[in-house]
Amino acid sequence: MGKETQKLRTYKNIHKYDDMIHLAHHVSRTHPPMPLSDRAAQFAPFAALTGHHEAVKETARLTDTRIELDENCKAVLNGKLQSIYERLDKEPSVSITYFVPDLKKSGGAYVTISGCVKKIREEERKVIMTDGTEIPFDEITEIDDQDEDIW
């Protein structure tokens, strides 16, 4: 095959549809044209791995490990809880740091809440704050009794 034949074939391939380029666009009589907003949705990104981004984000989320208190620390906390229990009628003001276990993975987070103590439920081993927060005794790591300094 000669060079002239190749050039002619290439020219024909490039200009194969030149006769149609200036024809009027076909408009269907039975199907109305698609709105532009719907046409744009056809080209929206497709998430092949639905939920993958959330799973990676959850794995990257950090949690704290629970601190095991020694017997001396537990005795100090019990003394502070007893002091608060004796002054429940005055709704003592405290700051309590406690561990909240994570529901999705091992570990959790330490939370500090400040407010007034409403009740201490010994049978349930919980401190109930005036805002309704319930704190299990076994999760408490620190109590700052703000009213104790006044006495």
- Report the pLDDT averaged over residues 8-17: 68
With cut-offs at 50, 70 and 90, classify the pLDDT of residue 38.
confident
**Alpha carbon distance, N-terminus to C-terminus of the chain:** 108
**47 falls within a domain:** no
pLDDT for res 4: 67
Confidence class of residue 26 from pLDDT cuts 50, 70 and 90? Answer: confident
In a domain, 133, yes or no: yes
Q: What local confidence, expressed as pLDDT, does residue 151 receive?
A: 43
pLDDT at 102 over 80: yes
Q: Which residue has the tokens 């719907």?
A: 38
- Coil, strand or helix: which one is 54? helix
Which helix (DSSP H) or strand (DSSP E) does residue 144 occupy?
Answer: strand 140-145
Residue 55 lies in a domain: no
Decide if 116 is inside a domain.
yes
User: Is residue 140 included in any domain, yes or no?
Assistant: yes
Query: Do residues 111 and 118 touch, judged by C-beta distance below 8 A?
Result: no
**pLDDT band for position 57 (cuts 50, 70, 90):** confident
Would the pLDDT of 148 be above 70? Answer: no
CATH code where residue 124 lies = 2.30.30
Q: How many domains does the chain have?
A: 1
Determine, yes or no, domain membership for 123. yes
Classify residue 117: in a domain, yes or no. yes
Burial environment of residue 140 by CB neighbours within 10 A (0 to 12, 13 to 18, 19 or more): buried
- Report if residue 127 sits inside a domain: yes
pLDDT tens digit sequence for 59-88: 777 778 888 999 999 999 999 999 999 999
Pairing assessment for the beta strands 93-101 and 108-121 based on DSSP bridges: antiparallel
Quote the domain boundaries for residue 84. 71-145
